[in-house]
Chain A
Amino acid sequence: MKNGRIAIPSNGQGGLDGTRSGHFGHCDVFTLVDVEDSEIKDVSILRNQEHVQGGCMVPVNLLSENRVNALVVGGIGMRPLMGFRQVGIDVYHDDQRPGIGTVVKDLIAGNLARISNDQVCGGGGGQM
């Protein structure tokens, strides 16, 4: 990824040194990373909204309105995945590493794959 804004569902206060949340809909915050010419230019924190049943489009709209281009998840349900695609946010998959900074560097380096339809899971959750 050369330019754009990356969102990482995060635990607690988030940030590059923080840990990722396994359930994007229920995460505490999103760590937003602005990338220019393949370099990290800025890191900011976006508070998540309340999650209710069937409210999967709330985080989709939240990230879209905050001009996010890419999201990295450990798992995601089919509806939010379709929602992100329909608003033009690319969804990448990593269910192994809990560190935020690690996956951000990997995404910038082009080492993360986009999530496929057969990788969707129930409830928007996932294990790392």
Chain B
Amino acid sequence: MINILLVSPEKSTFKELETAFQEKKITAKWTDSAQNALLMFSKEKFDLFITHEHLTDMTGRELIEKALVKNAMMNSVAASTLSHDDFHKAYEGLGVLMQFPPAPGKEHVQNLLNHLNRITLIAGQQDKSRGEQD
């Protein structure tokens, strides 16, 4: 079971995401600021967070930077209006899983879970390969 945090100034922004995760029996918590999110990361283990690009206290990009200093293993997704190329330039090196539109829907949740599964599969192949060597 994965633990997800949604970060956006308005809860309604990610309402469809929250519902889509619930339908898949995945609990997604929500908070309204980057500072709250960082506090929650210190207290609880999250596998993934999804942040809006504009938060009240910093940008989504800044939150991702600060979060990976705490725990680089935690995955992130940013909801952004940037074009594909501009997003890539702005977020390069931060290891963001994917870009969501500003108000993502159910189909984006499915794409995200498919992508996470792919990464898990690659990591699994790694473990299997190591097991064969041992």
Residues of A near any B CB (own CB < 8 A)? 47, 49-50, 52-58, 60-62, 65-66, 76-80, 82-83, 85-86, 120-124
Q: Which of chain B's residues 90-104 have a Cβ closer than 8 Å to chain A?
A: 92-98
Cβ–Cβ contact A123 & B93, under 8 A: yes
6 residue pairs A–B, Cβ–Cβ below 8 Å: A52-B119, A57-B72, A58-B119, A77-B93, A78-B65, A78-B95
Q: Which residues of A contact B92 (CB under 8 A)?
A: 77, 121-123
Cβ–Cβ contact B69 & A82, under 8 A: yes
* Chain A minimum-CB-distance residue to B127: A65
Cβ–Cβ contact A83 & B72, under 8 A: yes
Cβ–Cβ contact B71 & A54, under 8 A: no
* Chain B minimum-CB-distance residue to A25: B95
In the complex, what distance in Å separates the CA atom of A77 from the CA atom of B73?
Answer: 14
Cβ–Cβ contact A79 & B94, under 8 A: yes
In the complex, what distance in Å separates the CA atom of A58 from the CA atom of B125?
Answer: 10
In the complex, what distance in Å separates the CA atom of A55 from the CA atom of B126?
Answer: 13
- Take A50-B122, A55-B119 as given contacts and tell me if A86 and B95 are in contact as well, using a CB distance cutoff of 8 Å: no
Residues of B near any A CB (own CB < 8 A)? 65, 68-69, 71-73, 75, 89, 92-98, 115, 118-119, 122-123, 125-127, 129-130
Cβ–Cβ contact B126 & A121, under 8 A: no
Q: Which residues of A contact B118 (CB under 8 A)?
A: 52
Q: Which residues of B contact A86 (CB under 8 A)?
A: 71-73
In the complex, what distance in Å separates the CA atom of A62 from the CA atom of B126?
Answer: 7
Contact of B72 among A47, A82, A122 (CB under 8 A): A82
Contact of B122 among A49, A82, A83, A120 (CB under 8 A): A49
In the complex, what distance in Å separates the CA atom of A74 from the CA atom of B26?
Answer: 40
Q: Which residues of B contact A77 (CB under 8 A)?
A: 92-95
In the complex, what distance in Å separates the CA atom of A53 from the CA atom of B114?
Answer: 13
Q: Which residues of A contact B75 (CB under 8 A)?
A: 54
Q: Which residues of A contact B94 (CB under 8 A)?
A: 77-79
- Take A65-B126, A80-B72 as given contacts and tell me if A54 and B93 are in contact as well, using a CB distance cutoff of 8 Å: no
Q: A52-B115, A52-B118 are in contact. List 7 more A-B contacts (CB 8 A).
A: A54-B75, A58-B126, A60-B72, A62-B126, A65-B127, A82-B69, A121-B93
